[in-house]
Amino acid sequence: MPLVAHNELPSFERLRTEGVNILPTERAVQQDIRELHIGLCNMMPDAALEATERQFFRLIGESNPIAQFYVHPFTFPELPRGPAAQEHIARYYEPFEKVREEGLDALIVSGANVTHANLAQEPFWQPLMAMIGWALESVTSTLCSCLTTHAVLQCCYGQQRTQMQRKRWGVYSHHVVEDRHPLVKGVNTRFDVPHSRWNDVSRSQFETAHARILAESNEAGVHLAVSKDGLRLVFFQGHPEYDTISLLKEYKRDTSLYAQQLIPHYPPLPECYFGLQERSILEEYCARLESALEKQETLPVFPEQLVSRRLDNTWHDSAEAIVGNWMGCIYQVTHADRRRPFMDHVNPEDPLDLGTLPCTSADTKRLS
């Protein structure tokens, strides 16, 4: 069912041109279809702000439950922003105070750029932890993306991530570990997920936090896990929301940083992402760039157009299915008996039975 364009956010029009079902508010209010209100805490830097909106909006809008999806983007004022991003946020985003007051059925928290080894030193740490504390009490389920997974595991479970010797980036094959959990119902037992990170939380750390691991990779580690109760927290370490060209854009950015001597080494190619022909094109570009830098000549143009049209997306269908299952869980849970404490009676060792799960009391604000 559709996303509801409840404001003039440009991402709605962009997604509409891509074929995503976008419903104007005036039509939405005339339909007798249940609303689901999803918060999107977008902490990504300015250059990725709007792309991150579209990526998560797209996954929500393409999910299966019969509902109208109202997505409420917000961010933290503590994050440094340039003038254009500040204007975009002021015009189209909602203050967190408003989101908190009106309540949410579910929450997605994006990743963020970091500058400190210890996440607790980042400017977003205090507002993020305060928001997570509120969400644990008042939101049915929170999906933590990459950096936020690391932050929540550090704050709530004492599991601090470790820096890897090299960047883990590329598209990696994952296998489903716990196939009885509803988040992976109908998902291929083996599926791809992009990763792009320098840090890792290991399987043993997830297990120490009593998380239930649902999908992992021999090369990239744990991707999908949930909190002990089965739904309150959903953890992503990879980036299933990525567009087909997202890793190419990152690679282009890193080659530009190298050309400006802002990083010391030419970036390696993302793994399992480019085909043989694309690798040849990019290796030739690397050689031309190195030669131009050595001779102080005009730098070659990065062959983005030539490479981008040859890329395959091998992860979106699985990402759509998992997010659709998550929306389905939320849809069922928030219809359940409101008189019992949230999940107090659920045995975390048993498969999740959505027919017995109650919602939180806070979501009655949106549904009343």
Which CATH number do you get for residue 138?
Answer: 3.40.50.880
Tell whether 144 and 277 lie within a shared domain.
no
Q: What is the mean pLDDT of residues 139-144?
A: 96
Domain that holds residue 279: 246-308
Report the domain count for the chain. 2
The proportion of the chain whose per-residue pLDDT surpasses 90, expressed as a percent, equals 76
Report the predicted TM-score, pTM, of the whole model to 2 decimal places. Answer: 0.86
**pLDDT value of position 27:** 64
Cα separations in angstroms, 62 against 15, 143, 318: 11, 17, 12
Q: What is the C-alpha separation between 222 and 337, in angstroms, rounded? A: 33
Residue-wise pLDDT tens digits, 181-228:
999 999 999 999 999 999 999 999 999 999 999 999 999 999 999 999
Tell whether 154 and 35 lie within a shared domain.
yes
Q: What is the mean pLDDT of residues 145-171?
A: 96
Which of 190, 214, 200 is CA-nearest to residue 168? 200
> Angle 276-295/246-259 helices, nearest 10 degrees?
20
Considering only 277-286, 293-302, 334-343, which range has the smallest mean pLDDT?
334-343
Residue-wise pLDDT tens digits, 349-364:
444 454 444 333 333 3
Q: What is the C-alpha separation between 279 and 273, in angstroms, rounded? A: 9
**pLDDT value of position 96:** 96
CB 187 within 8 A of CB 322: yes
Sign of dihedral through CA atoms 103, 183, 196, 251?
negative
Which of 271, 304, 270 is CA-nearest to residue 285? 304
Pick the more confident residue, 310 or 31: 310
Structure tokens at 33: 């279809």
Residues 6+ apart with CB under 8 A from 66: 1, 33, 34
**pLDDT value of position 241:** 97
Tell whether 286 and 356 lie within a shared domain.
no
Tell whether 253 and 215 lie within a shared domain.
no
Tell whether 49 and 194 lie within a shared domain.
yes
Q: What is the mean pLDDT of residues 103-129?
A: 94
**pLDDT value of position 356:** 41
Residues annotated as catalytic are 146, 239, 241
DSSP string, 229-281: TSSSEEEESS-TT--TTHHHHHHHHHHHHHHTTSSSSPPPPPBTTS-HHHHHH
**pLDDT value of position 25:** 72
